[in-house]
Chains A and B, each alone.
Chain A
């Protein structure tokens, strides 16, 4: 049972444009959502998070939107830069479950110069 899903394996955008990465979840007990970025041969790096009591969180070029009724979240990167090219993982946790993270399958973002 895949509780966190990223249905787009890959995304390609032009430098300077917006990148939108999507994530869906099924477990209504999740109350924190996180995005991680992963370069080849490195571990995932934390990017941004959002609590279920919010619908938006912004950090520089990165904004995460949460739609609880649709059980959907998205990561917006504006403007996209070639250095943003990486695999992006969506993850979710439930406070009631010791903070264990459940990861999606990842979306590979390619930003073309």
Chain B
């Protein structure tokens, strides 16, 4: 079974530029998550999709972050414009959406904003 795929793996941009990350979840997983992990901290949920609908985006900085999951499969996360504090690893995860709510993570995208 193929795991969660993410690209790119690394990205360096200057502040005020825009960037986009792509995620392909495990086949058949209805639930998809985007997390931000800052060095030394645990992953923090940014947005949760159920199929192509948003379930929770309470922690997403909507003035600069946006995400979509067209057709309920692949998803993209965009930052525009980027700030220095957005430097982090962005993790995508998918889940069948049933207890114990085990989530399967991709390798992440390490973003550096200079």
Partner of A46, one of B56, B104, B108, B110: B104
> Is B4 a contact partner of A99 (Cβ separation < 8 A)?
no
Contacts of A9 in B (CB 8 A): 40
Q: Given that A32-B99, A98-B55, A99-B95 are known contacts, is A104 also in contact with B42, CB under 8 Å in the complex? A: yes
Count of B residues near A, CB < 8 Å?
A: 28
Contacts of A95 in B (CB 8 A): 99
B45 an interface residue at 8 Å Cβ cutoff?
yes
Compute how far the CA of A9 lies from the CA of B33 in the bound complex, rounded to whole angstroms.
Answer: 26
Count of A residues near B, CB < 8 Å?
A: 29
Show 11 A/B contacts (Cβ-Cβ < 8 Å), sorted by A.
A32-B101, A36-B105, A44-B105, A46-B104, A49-B102, A50-B100, A95-B99, A98-B50, A99-B95, A99-B101, A101-B103
> Is A43 a contact partner of B31 (Cβ separation < 8 A)?
no
CB-CB nearest in chain A for B41: A105
